[in-house]
Amino acid sequence: MITPFGLRHTFLVRDLAASCTVLDPAAPGDSSSANPLHQALRGYFVRQSGTFTYVLHAVDGGVPWQGFVQARGEHGANAWRVVCLAPKIQDQPHAPTLWYRLLLHLCIAAGEHHIQKLFACVEPDGAEEQVLRQASFAVYCRDSVWLRSGDRPLQCTVAERVRAARAQDQWDIQRLYARVAPRLVREAEGSGENGTGRGPPGLLEAEAEFVLTGRQDEVTGWAAVSSAGSAYWLRLMLSPDEREGAAELVCCALGGIPDKSDRKVLCAVRDYEGGVATVLGQCGFEPLVERSLLVKHTTVQVSETRRRVVPALEKRAGAVPTASQSQVARAVLERVR
């Protein structure tokens, strides 16, 4: 039986947390944010926390079936992100079945909360990805996470084409995202064909944003910095024909990060952003891990045929036409003749 987390599940989740799989191989975080029990309790007492935990606790044939799944709401989007599942697939022979049941229940619960999408992130081609695929998750993109330690010296060039992003730049940033990201990625992340929608990941939660400008102040590159636990995340996006100012953009973004000496910087490069990896290597980044980004739609758009209104003759009750007296008299005379 799968139920939302309650206080009666405290010790169960605490014990299972030791065998928990975090569905983001490169996700940084401090001990409190990474502890599933702390997040479950926070979601139980603070409904607006955006954390949802569901626990499976049953006995089948004398064998206990115990596990849990935890998801968090995506900031500014009608979506949840699956953050952890327990137990680990390698720890129990029936763990894949537990994962499958928990993921199906999470999809139903998300639909009841009017959530349209579920996101997950795992290492590619592993047992975790196989179970997610069986639960109707689909890979829409792959990326590689690059790491830069805070003690690496940074040699910046003169940034003549980079400036801090302004409010009026958001439309141009979304248009850049529409040009760079494939259609499948935009549909998964909720951006329309004309560039409207959420835009690139990191746009809504960014603490600092920078844009690289080209001719006539056109936005040809974008960088965003956000804090996540014990590290900073750097998100880059470059126009396919823009390579000269990429190093300037990275240097300005790194220069805007406080406490650079004791915090690591992570940057995710997607498989369709080949030029970004070269720039990161020049700026002291090193590849850390590869990931598969998956999505599951909890609702399906159904096109309804629009009914046309056709005008019709209205039938009304009326008098039936009859022959007049003169017509009757004329007909009688003709017969007499």
Residues 213-245 have pLDDT tens digits of: 887 788 999 999 888 777 888 999 988 877 777
CATH fold label, 2-136? Aminopeptidase (3.40.630)
* pLDDT confidence of residue 244: 77
Q: Give the containing element (helix H, strand E) for 3.
A: strand 2-4
Side chain identity at residue 38, one-letter code: H
| Residue 166 · residue 328 · CB < 8 Å | no
Task: Determine the length of the chain.
Answer: 337
CA-to-CA distance for 196 and 176, rounded, in angstroms?
11
Flag residues of the chain having pLDDT under 70: 28-33, 75-77, 150-159, 191-199, 201-204, 259-262, 300-337
Task: Give the CA distances from residue 142 to residues 7, 123, 185, 219, 241, in Å, rounded to whole numbers and listed in that order.
Answer: 38, 9, 10, 25, 22
The domain limits of the chain are 2-136, 146-291
CA-to-CA distance for 239 and 260, rounded, in angstroms?
28
Q: Is the pTM of the predicted complex or chain greater than 0.85?
A: no
CA-to-CA distance for 293 and 79, rounded, in angstroms?
14
* pLDDT confidence of residue 41: 94
* pLDDT confidence of residue 31: 45
Q: Do domains 2-136 and 146-291 have the same CATH topology?
A: yes
* pLDDT confidence of residue 282: 83
Its CATH architecture, for the domain 146-291, is 3-Layer(aba) Sandwich (3.40)
* pLDDT confidence of residue 226: 86
* pLDDT confidence of residue 29: 57
Residues 163-190 have pLDDT tens digits of: 888 888 889 999 999 999 999 999 888 7
* pLDDT confidence of residue 193: 44
* pLDDT confidence of residue 264: 84
| Residue 24 · residue 33 · CB < 8 Å | no
Task: Give the CA distances from residue 258 to residues 18, 115, 212, 230, 231, in Å, rounded to whole numbers and listed in that order.
Answer: 33, 35, 21, 13, 11
* pLDDT confidence of residue 302: 47
